Structure 1
Amino acid sequence: MTVPPDIEALRARLEKTRGREYWRSLESLTETAEFKEFLHREFPQNASEWLDPVGRRNFLKLMGASLALAGVSACTRQPTEELVPYVRQPEELVPGKPLFYATAMPMSGAGMGLLVESHEGRPTKIEGNPDHPSSRGATDLFAQASILTLYDPDRSQIITNLGEIRAFSAFTAAAQAAMSSQQGSQGAGTRILTETVASPTLAAQLDEFLVRFPSAKWVQWEPVGRHNAREGSRLAFGEYVDAQYAVEKATVILSLDADFLCTGGSGVRNARAFAARRRADGDHTQPNRLYAVESTATNTGTKADHRLPLRPSEVEPFARAVAAALGVAGVSAGELSEPARAWIGPLVTDLQAHRGQSLAIAGDGQPPAVHALAHAMNETLGNAGTTVLYTQTTEARPMNQLAALQELVGEMNAGTVDFLLTLGGNPVYTAPADLDFAAALGKVRLRAHLGLYEDETSALCHWHIPEAHYLEAWSDVRCDDGTVTIVQPLIAPLYNGKSAHEVIAALSERGERPGYELVREYWSRQTGLSTQAPPPPATAAPPAAVPPVSQPAPTGNTAGAAAGAQAAPERPPIAAAPVPQLSPFDREWRRWLHDGMVPNTAFAPRTATVLGAPAAPPSGGRPQGLEAVFRPDPSIYDGRFANNAWLQELPKSLTKLTWDNAALISPATAARLSLVSGDVVELRQGGRSVRIPVWLAPGQAGDTLTLHLGYGRTRAGRAGNGTGFNVNPLRTTAAPDMIAGVELVKTGDTYQLASTQDHWSLEGRNLVRVATTAQFAADPQFAAKEEHQPLPGISMYGDFKYDGYAWGMTIDQSVCTGCNSCVVACQAENNVPVVGKSQVLNGREMHWLRVDRYYTGDLENPETYHQPMPCQQCETAPCEVVCPVSATTHSTEGLNDMVYNRCVGTRYCSNNCPYKVRRFNFLLYQDWNTPTLWLQRNPDVTVRSRGVMEKCTYCVQRINHARVAAKLDDRQIRDGEVLTACQSACPTEAIVFGNINDPNSRVSRLKAHPLNYALLAELNTRPRTTYMAIVRNPNLELEPAAAAAEDER
């Protein structure tokens, strides 16, 4: 878009449409010249051979770990400690047959229970642990992508001291000398800086260290954490507690700027619980209803039945107005905008009608007062003990992290810190700008950093120690409800990394010890179980001697023969093989490792009573200028995943941006300021400034900018260096989450952003089908009525009879949150490469699965829907009939197969696919020359080369694994035995796969459901992948159109 949008013209056009009109971007809605050009270029330009050596070098640089895993040993090394099931060299270790190990991924003060697939000692794929309360078999996109970080060649590989390679013993000697010099002052000059610690073992080690050096200090800093939630609980209850939400029990939910379905340690669990009341095959008599009040569009907001965009400064007054209307003592309503005032009455009535079955949730970006108000609302509504429980915190030592970091910087500036040990994190990059952490760090006499990368913090430290990845190290971690999981490694450290446990142990009186020993010792103390194996059982009496071997009957001279005959020697007694005896602790330990949980470690609910409502802030009137909110990036979080090429190239679910961030701005505000997407602006506030391009985002609150963290890194690695724009200079200790009074200045420059929102556009009406609960009850067949069914017998050929299996899939759009876990899971499972920003701009991204996003309604507050789009596996597939070499064929089970070694790259199949799901290797995106690349690749999936077409296969390799297992047991494949990669990762179970020839399978029942429909059915492609129409549950007082439909019924 080269000119600002005409907002009034667009609104007028939308008002004139008959029925619902769905659109994917402002460019498609306005039919700009750029959009028309891209739409009519089925194959992007520059498809000829890539001859530019400079461009090729940049491309190779951007591939990072996905393209150049150089520097990993060609042979894998397994940990020397015992794992489960590797208690000893196992008989069940069959080459080609993967094994799975239970572990957990620690992140931001909580863990997620996982199962990790391993091929001959190589971890290759992450799955959720179906028995773990934090995941229930699903994962988020960060867990899926963490396998690529493990093999990243840009990870730190050597211990350095001022740039010189040193041994770990040299570091421990230097650190011990520094500690010895402080023995008299009891460690007064020592500080340990960590991320939020949820490991019981590490917390115990740090506490032990502080007992030895009582004047030392332990500081925690998490740039994107639950600081506001922690302080809000202390404000409400007088102590730090965690709120555990039972979302599945809530009928009415109020979200106060909270993306609780997709972020945080409980995001996966919340999404699963929320979907339980929304699924097509669920109970539609009691669906939940979600109200979302938010300053920027979120995935949670897209699932809301009612969404209210407000400026960040307006969320707290809105929360106070709701609390006052509910009768919370000591709270009075303030001034609200007209749209907000219209919400109060219907919302409060709905909440009060569902006392004990409602829920108020405040977002991590909102100040502590909003969290305290949410707690007060829940108590007033009687939700405590039903839909919300209070427990102790997963954080081992809860503290005001921002205040602690400020104190640490003050001490460093004062010169009172002699030794700073930073365990993980990157505070030089993530600390608030006004602290100038880098300058303060330079005043510390001895500085050491443990990190996965030689990042911005490592560059300013004397010592850098490579950190072991969580798949390389022993540890433990508490998940969001307190459940402890033992973190067990699947591979020995590729780069001789050390865990935080081992570094702290090296500074203790007992000296360096392995993490395995440290974790076991801690838990043996906690359980009180003996680690000594019982004595072997007393030796029993030897068995009776084996009778002599029978001799043949004598012949001839019987007497002589009998005299000369000798009895055969007796066999010695057969000794029983000794049975290894396990100690009581070892028996429990092995069970914990197998199950992925330590039983009975979840926190018990505790009583928490609200002490009083938080005081109202001083009335200063509406802030002048623009406001801005800081949010973790949906793909690279706070920057820790900046060098993960899978995540860099993952289209963000709402903006579809890749490889960059931008300042999100509403269309109306952009039109007023004469801005279009890609215009570079300078944002100024408090004497600080950043330059960043803008991106027009429907649904964004007016006069509000959203700034995503994590970009603009200078020492991230080949994929992360120089991508995006660093917005941390605007983030201060006074305003770490939102700022007001932002001045926006146009620079006149433009910046090319790579967005996929107009790629692979489908041509058709009613691609998304939506009804309210009342409309669905009145007309259950509404979804099927919108289909144009071809006449029977239209083909001269008869239908193929599928006598065995017939695989099919359904996707429930009512519960899809657009979280993108499925996309990354597909990439990891199927060896899908990344291509780099320049290739994305040409429309050449290789993802087999994409999640299309559609808008409908008003520009400023549209309804937003997500539609995952894999290969549709058509019965009458248009791609098959045009392939001149039969590289794409139909299997006897209904799969649209690809035969890669037949493909000659004509791309006729892609041209003939109405769903735009085929991907062509224009260049050699895979690296065939680096043997170490095989470490992460799935050996069951062919690695494709240049000139070859590829697409979704329904994870045929998983079908074949299940087929072999069923054949060995002489049975049929059970329903649910085959889970595609996208299905297994989905937090909401939106994707269901199975045998449609089995009438009792879940997929068959869903395909018989009235909400089931096929995309582009009028083309008679007869896709095996079908969709469930969306059913919303609006409040009739807030949605006149729905109320009118109900009146007509």
Structure 2
Amino acid sequence: MDRPDQVTQDKDVFHRDLTRGADGRRYWRSLDELAQSPEFVEKLHREFPSAAAEWDELDQDASRDGGVSRRNFLTMMGASIALAGIGGAGCRARDPVEKIVPYVNQPEEIIPGKPLYFATSLTIDGLAHGVLVESHEGRPTKIEGNPEHPATLGASNVFMQAAMLSMYDPDRSKVVRRIDTVSTWDRFWQEIAPIIAGKLKSGGAGMRILTEPTSSPTTAAQIVALRQRFPQARWHQYSPLDRANVRQGANAAFGRPVNVAYRFDRADVIVSLDSDFFQDEPGHIRYARQFIDRRRVRKDRTEMNRLYVFESTRTITGAMADHRRPMSPQQISQIALALAGQPADDSLSAIVEDLRRAGRNALVIAGPTQPPEVHAACHAINAALGSAGNTVYYTEPVEFDVPLDTTRSLAHLVDDMNAGAVDLLLIVGGNPVYNSPADLNFLEAMRKVSLRVHLSEYDDETSEQCHWHLPMTHDLEQWGDARAYDGTMSIVQPLIAPLYEGRSVNEFLSVLLGQLARPAYEIVRESWRARYRGNDFERFWEQTLHDGLMANSELPPIDVRLAAQPAAPAPATAPASPGGLQIVFRPDPSIGDGRWANNGWLQELPKPITKITWDNAALISPATALRMNLKNGELVDLKYRGRSVRAPIQIVPGLPDDCVTLHLGYGRTRAGNVGNGVGFSAYAIRTSDLPWFGAGLEIMSLGKEYTLASTQHESLMHGRDLVRVRDIEAFRSRHEKNEEHHPSRYPLTFFDQSALMNQHNAWGMTIDINACIGCNACVIACQAENNIPVVGKEQVAKGRHMHWLRVDTYFASEHPDRGHDFVYRDRAAANPDVYFQPVPCMHCENAPCEVVCPVGATAHDAEGTNNMVYNRC
């Protein structure tokens, strides 16, 4: 929201008083900018020579009058270099080998140049995300959320948007491989058939199937049939991002497994205990929409929701908090008990009172990284507030027969393999050789199995160690089904025939059931027919395909009662020694657990807070870095519980002291040409008993520097007051007086606007900054829509990335008078507020992309906008 900052005109640049503005706050994008380091001033010299001269005067002004010069510059967003044409990361279909002829009788729905849209679902982390896929002449080109689907409501996330590029990835597995020899599916069936026949006689003794958790009703039915066919066989499940703490906490609280879902649209007061519910919760897309709908500024709205966040690392949920407190994971565990009992801290007492006032419209939510005891305590608090059934509700489990802890399931498999009890291992999806806990030594145990088979989209680290690698189809190439976070049954239908020799999970499992040539369409259709209780299945099936889901199929809420009072959270490990560090593991916001590592769009996507691309780093707080004499990009050795890994340091404002955050998903060796050798693998020091955090980390500097390609303080927007903040009361007061903002002192365009005054249509876009959560979905959507090329880490480090849209991150700190004091810098960096500023293509009047384009692909139209002629690029 706008605010009446004082501005003066000098040298054709408007300057803002950064430290003595109306709210007394200073806005900055990096610690170098906050400290006015020599490196930052040198960078400013290169980009804005006149502005750099003003920065040179700051120290003189400060020493002269004991304060800070009013000629500070808000160095924000920079001149975009993303106005380039469509590039090489394309989704071009393969040219046909055969001779082609035009339609004799063209289908009436096929009109060249006019897209068709199909409703389907993408299965991410085992759950359905409803999408609408745009298709041109039989080739899918763009993905959007399905407005009718409860998990997406027409929106999407970065993974959904980037799934299109993954489907066309040339590094996907193309053929069946038998050890080092290219083979065929027929040869695999011939070799496996007598083995399966033998297992049928023995009841499946020595046979193990390892999958990721699944919510697919069809897959569930096949698993049931396999258990009946092979009663001595064992089915194991494993996910590196397992929500074991969530399941175990609910089981401890209610004495039975239940699924937990939330209604943020009903929550007035929210307390988050290490929960990044904008990114990590199964229903995060819907949750973000519900949360932000309560924050949209309207004339008739008198109240907004209030969010308190306690977190052990920087998240976009914490960035949106009204009150945020960084602390270690163990301290957060104790906060849960304090909220449930008698808090000793005055600030906690105020939160408890706020929760009590909100009553049934309050919500306390714990993240999946917190131990089960914290989740049980949150369930008890919500029950005491009366929130159960209102802001939080419970259903039967969505995933099929998932164990309380899938890591234990994997450990049992490892024990059996080490004991020689397994002679046939079928791994369906997943990549356990890469992402299993280091202490389980999964690879060593797996090598003791005489026949190992892996079905996956990529010939990855696990496939490399198997006798047979089998290519798997992408969601956009296959028939299937899955449930959404609330249980809604969703259909997966193909938009294109498999590009390579892939088979779906259902087709593979059907072979184990003795159904060799059964197509996936028939398998899924018959599975749905078996569950249908109506009279007209054909009409129901067509409507389901049209909508992408079964109407009214969400799981109904169930009544649950607390089984017992929650127990005190157990310590994560032995108490840390004085000065010791705690390690915090998190999924990467760009590539998740590593399965998206070969997606160039996601690798080049700046992470929401750090803006790092093409890498992960050991994230530490400024105070910890100062105490340990560490700097950005310094290569260190991380030692944890007898294991070590090398990583670069990245200093991040707002992290808790003495906590080091490591993002998972990097350090791949067989991801593909894009993902190989990028970053370091945090899995190398992650263990099964403490998968999310623990004490005892040691850091030793190696005395080397490592280049991190971060976009955080490049392209500095010099002297513009773009981040404007007001609290709701001040906004209401100014709104009533029609003082929402100051008019621009520069004309918005040099274009002659008189020609536009009588036009029926007016071009324009409004971005509600108050609603932006910094998730980056829009950045990937823009890249997918315009086929923007990927340039790689080296070019990003030089500022040559080509995004047409970016989301800048700004930090804001409270201190009106001592903006250049060292003590202030430490305090400002300890827990600054965070604001996100989307910066799209501005459709410049003199657009540099138009001038340099050699083929005239970029052009300016009569209405003042930049147009793209895609087939020229």
TM superposition score normalised by structure 1:
0.72
| Unpaired segments ≥5 residues, structure 1 | 1-12, 45-64, 78-87, 326-332, 531-583, 901-940, 945-1049
| Residue 227 (structure 1) shift | 1.8
- Range 415-424 or range 278-287, more displaced: 278-287
Which residue of structure 2 aligns with residue 642 of structure 1?
A: 597
Which residue of structure 2 aligns with residue 614 of structure 1?
A: 566
- The answer to whether residue 557 in structure 2 is matched with residue 605 in structure 1 is yes
Write out per-residue CA displacement over residues 385-407 of structure 1, whole angstroms, 9 at most, x where no aligned residue.
11111001211112021111110
Which residue of structure 2 aligns with residue 810 of structure 1?
A: 766
Which residue of structure 1 aligns with residue 376 of structure 2?
A: 372
CA shift in 2, pair 1:21/1:97, >3 Å: same
C-alpha distance in 2 between matches for 1:504 and 1:347? 52
Which residue of structure 1 aligns with residue 833 of structure 2?
A: 863
Are the aligned partners of 1:252 and 1:350 in contact in 2 as well (CA < 8 Å)? Answer: yes
Are the aligned partners of 1:690 and 1:730 in contact in 2 as well (CA < 8 Å)? Answer: yes
Which residue of structure 2 aligns with residue 595 of structure 1?
A: 547
Which residue of structure 2 aligns with residue 213 of structure 1?
A: 230
Root-mean-square deviation over aligned CA pairs: 2.8
- The answer to whether residue 367 in structure 2 is matched with residue 360 in structure 1 is no
Which residue of structure 2 aligns with residue 969 of structure 1?
A: none
C-alpha distance in 1 between matches for 2:859 and 2:470? 53
Which residue of structure 1 aligns with residue 584 of structure 2?
A: 629
Which residue of structure 2 aligns with residue 292 of structure 1?
A: 309
CA shift in 2, pair 1:765/1:505, >3 Å: same
Are the aligned partners of 2:395 and 2:558 in contact in 1 as well (CA < 8 Å)? Answer: yes
C-alpha distance in 2 between matches for 1:659 and 1:643? 11
Write out per-residue CA displacement over residues 213-235 of structure 1, whole angstroms, 9 at most, x where no aligned residue.
11111111111132211111111
Q: In percent, how many aligned pairs have the same letter?
A: 48
| Residue 262 (structure 1) shift | 2.1
C-alpha distance in 2 between matches for 1:70 and 1:778? 51
Q: How does 1:12-161 map to 2 (within 5 A)?
A: 19-42=24-47, 67=88, 73-75=94-96, 90-161=107-178
Write out per-residue CA displacement over residues 132-184 of structure 1, whole angstroms, 9 at most, x where no aligned residue.
11111010100000000001010111101112122212222332322222334
CA shift in 2, pair 1:794/1:252, >3 Å: closer
Q: Secondary structure at the match of 2:486?
A: coil
What is the identity, as a one-letter code, of the residue corresponding to 2:409?
Answer: A
Are the aligned partners of 1:258 and 1:294 in contact in 2 as well (CA < 8 Å)? Answer: yes
Q: Secondary structure at the match of 2:370?
A: coil
CA shift in 2, pair 1:797/1:408, >3 Å: closer
Q: Give the alignment partner of residue 850 of structure 1, picking from 800, 806, 815.
A: 806
CA shift in 2, pair 1:846/1:587, >3 Å: same
- The answer to whether residue 264 in structure 2 is matched with residue 312 in structure 1 is no
Q: Give the alignment partner of residue 278 of structure 2, picking from 236, 258, 261.
A: 261
Q: How does 1:482-521 map to 2 (within 5 A)?
A: 482-521=487-526
Q: Secondary structure at the match of 1:22?
A: strand
Q: Secondary structure at the match of 1:859?
A: helix
CA shift in 2, pair 1:285/1:190, >3 Å: same
Which residue of structure 1 aligns with residue 258 of structure 2?
A: 241
Q: How does 1:653-802 map to 2 (within 5 A)?
A: 653-780=608-735, 787=742, 789-790=744-745, 799-802=754-757
| Residue 824 (structure 1) shift | 0.2
CA shift in 2, pair 1:489/1:814, >3 Å: same
CA shift in 2, pair 1:783/1:845, >3 Å: farther
Are the aligned partners of 2:89 and 2:788 in contact in 1 as well (CA < 8 Å)? Answer: no
C-alpha distance in 2 between matches for 1:759 and 1:386? 45
Are the aligned partners of 1:626 and 1:705 in contact in 2 as well (CA < 8 Å)? Answer: yes
| Residue 758 (structure 1) shift | 1.2
C-alpha distance in 2 between matches for 1:827 and 1:788? 32
CA shift in 2, pair 1:783/1:683, >3 Å: farther
| Residue 694 (structure 1) shift | 0.8
What is the identity, as a one-letter code, of the residue corresponding to 1:324?
Answer: G
CA shift in 2, pair 1:43/1:287, >3 Å: closer
Q: Give the alignment partner of residue 897 of structure 1, picking from 835, 843, 866.
A: 866
| Residue 269 (structure 1) shift | 0.4
Are the aligned partners of 2:585 and 2:661 in contact in 1 as well (CA < 8 Å)? Answer: yes
| Residue 33 (structure 1) shift | 3.2
Write out per-residue CA displacement over residues 945-997 of structure 1, whole angstroms, 9 at most, x where no aligned residue.
xxxxxxxxxxxxxxxxxxxxxxxxxxxxxxxxxxxxxxxxxxxxxxxxxxxxx
C-alpha distance in 2 between matches for 1:385 and 1:899? 51
- The answer to whether residue 353 in structure 2 is matched with residue 349 in structure 1 is yes
Write out per-residue CA displacement over residues 236-279 of structure 1, whole angstroms, 9 at most, x where no aligned residue.
11111111101000000011100101223311000010011111
What is the identity, as a one-letter code, of the residue corresponding to 2:156?
Answer: T
- The answer to whether residue 196 in structure 2 is matched with residue 175 in structure 1 is no
| Residue 898 (structure 1) shift | 4.6
C-alpha distance in 2 between matches for 1:794 and 1:600? 50
Which residue of structure 2 aligns with residue 841 of structure 1?
A: 797
Q: Secondary structure at the match of 1:807?
A: coil
Which residue of structure 1 aligns with residue 779 of structure 2?
A: 823
C-alpha distance in 1 between matches for 2:498 and 2:463? 20
| Residue 342 (structure 1) shift | 3.8
Which residue of structure 2 aligns with residue 411 of structure 1?
A: 416
| Residue 455 (structure 1) shift | 0.4
Q: Secondary structure at the match of 1:356?
A: helix
Are the aligned partners of 1:70 and 1:153 in contact in 2 as well (CA < 8 Å)? Answer: no
Are the aligned partners of 1:448 and 1:463 in contact in 2 as well (CA < 8 Å)? Answer: yes
Q: How does 1:422-571 map to 2 (within 5 A)?
A: 422-528=427-533
Are the aligned partners of 2:861 and 2:867 in contact in 1 as well (CA < 8 Å)? Answer: no
Q: Secondary structure at the match of 2:162?
A: helix
| Residue 780 (structure 1) shift | 2.6
TM superposition score normalised by structure 2:
0.87
Q: Secondary structure at the match of 2:475?
A: coil
C-alpha distance in 2 between matches for 1:677 and 1:880? 33
Q: How does 1:878-893 map to 2 (within 5 A)?
A: 879=847, 891-893=861-863
Which residue of structure 1 aligns with residue 397 of structure 2?
A: 393
Are the aligned partners of 1:68 and 1:153 in contact in 2 as well (CA < 8 Å)? Answer: no
Q: Secondary structure at the match of 1:457?
A: helix
| Residue 468 (structure 1) shift | 0.3
Are the aligned partners of 2:123 and 2:482 in contact in 1 as well (CA < 8 Å)? Answer: yes
C-alpha distance in 1 between matches for 2:750 and 2:283? 51
C-alpha distance in 1 between matches for 2:703 and 2:637? 10
C-alpha distance in 2 between matches for 1:744 and 1:97? 58
Write out per-residue CA displacement over residues 365-395 of structure 1, whole angstroms, 9 at most, x where no aligned residue.
1111111111111101000111111001211
Q: Secondary structure at the match of 2:770?
A: coil
CA shift in 2, pair 1:798/1:243, >3 Å: closer
- Range 682-691 or range 458-467, more displaced: 682-691
Which residue of structure 2 aligns with residue 911 of structure 1?
A: none
Q: How does 1:183-202 map to 2 (within 5 A)?
A: 183-202=200-219
Are the aligned partners of 2:807 and 2:838 in contact in 1 as well (CA < 8 Å)? Answer: yes
C-alpha distance in 1 between matches for 2:426 and 2:31? 50
Write out per-residue CA displacement over residues 865-921 of structure 1, whole angstroms, 9 at most, x where no aligned residue.
0010012346xx46599969999876444x422577xxxxxxxxxxxxxxxxxxxxx
| Unpaired segments ≥5 residues, structure 2 | 1-16, 50-85, 99-104, 814-827
Are the aligned partners of 2:162 and 2:784 in contact in 1 as well (CA < 8 Å)? Answer: yes
| Residue 66 (structure 1) shift | 7.8
C-alpha distance in 2 between matches for 1:342 and 1:464? 59
Are the aligned partners of 1:483 and 1:603 in contact in 2 as well (CA < 8 Å)? Answer: yes
